[in-house]
Chain A
Amino acid sequence: MAEVLVLVDHVDGQVKKVTTELLTAARRIGEPAAVWIGDGAESGKGALAEYGAEKVYVAPAELGDYVVAPKAELLAKLAQDKGAAAILVSATAENKEIAGRTAVKLGSGVLTDVVDVNAEVVAEHSVFGGATITHARVRTGVPVVAVRPNSVPAEAASGAAAEEAVSVEVSEAAKTAKVVERVAEEQGERPELTEAAIVVSGGRGVGSDDFSVVENLADSLGAAVGASRAAVDSGWYPNQFQVGQTGKTVSPNLYVALGISGAIQHRAGMQTAKNIVAVNKDPEAPIFELADFGVVGDLHTVAPQLTEEIKKRK
């Protein structure tokens, strides 16, 4: 069976959940081979084995010293050396770029933001703000597919996770954009927005830059915090937390919209959530058309009560 390369997302030696989802999808297509760039493979290998990785290719951290290009060179080389059937990455901003450059190098095609993929590498997309479902495939070369986190439920299956060190001679052209500094900005202990199983977002109804009503509810659920464009444009919450057309796309198991009307631009970023809960003062708000459960009321009384109830019932 041909190998399916899965680019591993990891932090401090911990494999991110989306990688277990990708390994699950990869097993439909062929034999999963994880590609680990950077340090920490020793501590993360166990998780990869639990989700069926037969191999773990470990590449040096230095590939990350330059923007995107060296990682694409590695993936393209591995795909050729190993005769890979497909390459799967998570649909994060950077990984989509890696996917695009890899496909250019391989003379193949790239499918981004897919919400499902089958054994023939036919991928499902949710487009136009969730209004249309499309299926697409790559008909030339090794398909490179970027899968949206929380789209494919992870299922365990044991794999050998045989480690092999790999490397690539990075070209001069790939060393032209150098990362000279990495700056971490305050985001506390909350899960990463696009990966989170639960997202609690606040919008215009929050009314000020005091987002504690949103954050407290998020923390009671172990959720990530998001914000609508209205809230971000008002300067109430940082830009990187914006959910919607010009921000992040999330696909959590539960999305809680507080004081968000649900304009199409916002829906484009959250419509594939499995469960949607909305609180809004306006009974006509379009968010209620999507909501599995909605409360017409003031989020400043409903959300704190909900937070207390969750703490009580835990």
Chain B
Amino acid sequence: MNIVVLVKQVPDTATERKLNADDKTLDRAASDGVINELDEYAIEEALLLKEKHGGEVTILTMGPEKATESIRKALSMGADKAVFVNDDALHGSDALQTAYALAQALGTIEYDVVVLGSESTDARTGVVGAALAEYLGLPQLTFARKVDIDGSTIRIQRQTDYGYDVVEAQLPAVVSVVEKINEPRYPSFKLIMQAKKKPVDKKSAADAGIDTGRVGLANAATETVDFAAAPPRAAGTVVKDEGDGGAKIADFLVEKKFV
């Protein structure tokens, strides 16, 4: 079973995140880069599938040079190798262009399952998994909280507002995972050392079969018109509970007509 995990490097939520004033894209240099949190669950799920069914786990990352750090981290969790699509032509690609580019890059890799996090913590669009399935013409098994593979049949529990749907498909398939699915492992010292020697196949957009006329800021179907810091919330009232804290909140709620 060959598994590809899509890993995105995102700015650390704990640092200040900002946009570039000139082209209104994310300023990736301004913050520390970390693996998108939900992608760690995707890596873990891929490793669990490999432990059960054998095969190889390949990390696929698209991003600037700096994303190499996140690829090493993913390899140190136990993935076998990586493909790194790195090209200035990809800068400023929106969610659908990203899905297109990843679909093209997947065309250069052999796989039975593609696993990714259900959304990234930076743009948070939550559409890449679905759009990827659309581009690849493969089954969309997204928002999985449980994955079972039996032969060529894959079954997931898809998280919904009312509970979950059991969804079934034939491999190959695209699977996105939610946080509930597992508990990602920490890299061991041994794995960290081994990761340094694991192969990372760096590809340009052309190497990955990506038409550069379809990606990047200039070719995006969406455009950020402007941005600004959000106006600060008006300072509220904070009181110490003197035995009437609940009643005071009730006063506030009555004033605001919630009661």
Contacts and interface: CB of A to CB of B under 8 A. Distances in A.
Which 6 A/B pairs are nearest by Cβ-Cβ distance? A297-B241, A305-B246, A100-B127, A109-B221, A185-B163, A97-B130
B224 A135 contact: yes
B221 A96 contact: no
B161 A97 contact: no
Interface in A197-248: 198, 221, 239-240, 242, 245-247
B74 to A, nearest CB: 18
B165 interface: yes
23 contacts: A113-B124, A127-B124, A138-B221, A139-B222, A178-B167, A179-B165, A183-B165, A185-B164, A221-B259, A239-B145, A265-B13, A268-B124, A275-B258, A290-B236, A295-B248, A296-B238, A297-B241, A297-B245, A301-B245, A305-B245, A306-B247, A309-B249, A313-B254
A99 B134 CA distance: 12
Interface of A: 67-69, 72, 92-94, 96-101, 103-105, 107-113, 122, 126-141, 173, 176-185, 187, 192-194, 198, 221, 239-240, 242, 245-247, 249, 253-254, 264-265, 268, 275-277, 279, 283, 288-298, 301-310, 313-314
B212 interface: no
B150 interface: no
Given A105-B134, A109-B222, A110-B96, A177 B245 contact: no
A275 B140 CA distance: 38
B131 interface: yes
B222 A133 contact: no
Given A136-B222, A293-B252, A67 B142 contact: yes
Which of B118, B158, B162, B238: most chain A Cβ within 10 A? B238
A305 B242 CA distance: 12
Contact of A100 (B96, B167, B240, B245): B96
Contacts of B164: 183, 185
Q: Give the one of A176, A181, A247, A314 with max B CB within 10 A.
A: A176
Nearest to B19: A132
A226 to B, nearest CB: 13
B130 A112 contact: no
Contact of A113 (B125, B157, B162): B125
A130 to B, nearest CB: 6
